[in-house]
Amino acid sequence: MILPSARLLALSDLTHIHHGTNFSIGFLLALAAAAAYSFFIRRTALGYEIRAVGLGAEAARTAGIPVGKVVVTAMALSGALAGLAGSVEVLGVHRRFFDMFSPGYGFDSIAVALLGGLHSLGITLSAILFGALNSGAIAMESATDTPRQIAGIIQAIVILGAAARYLRQKARAE
């Protein structure tokens, strides 16, 4: 058990890019992870297998791809990236562990991935958009007493717009 007030290894001098802000090296790590993901998913055999299983498990199984092994490997890689993100957040930004430090990031990430079109560049831009909306909502709440939930409403409008565009393109293709 870690006490919520216990300070952890301070990496603030190492991790903050711009002192006085929470802009940390985590952003650069995320960009590097996105580039590595893009290379991995498009240029390696395992990346091909992950894409094949994602597009259709039965078709991948018929092609001789070990679906169970690929799913477990993909989940392990996803967990490693989530652990990296969590450690940067705890050690680099807050410098202490506290319960519930992630206010719905997992749910946001699904929307970010779908909005980004499941492409690394699109996901990166979508994540920056969602991060800017969340940060802006917090700043706006403290400056003008506007509820921060307004960011969730804006995110929902963006997602609905992207879904409408996707459905329109799909209807035109048919």
pLDDT per residue over 30-67, tens digit each? 889 989 999 999 999 999 999 999 999 999 999 999 99
Three-state SS at 37: helix
For the entire predicted model, the pTM comes to 0.70
Amino acid at 84: L
What's the angle, vertex CA 167, arms to CA 165 and CA 169, rounded to 5?
70
Sequence ranges of the domains in the chain:
10-98, 103-174
Q: Can you give the length of the chain in residues?
A: 174
Q: Smallest Cα–Cα separation from 135: which of 10, 19, 22, 20?
A: 22
Residue 18's alpha-carbon distances to 2, 12, 62, 105, 170, in angstroms, are 29, 11, 52, 23, 44
Give the H or E element holding residue 32: helix 25-43
Give the H or E element holding residue 44: none
Question: pLDDT digit string (tens) for 113-170?
Answer: 888 887 888 988 998 888 888 888 888 888 888 887 887 888 888 888 888 888 888 8
φ and ψ at residue 62, rounded to 5 degrees: -65, -35
- DSSP state, residue 117: T
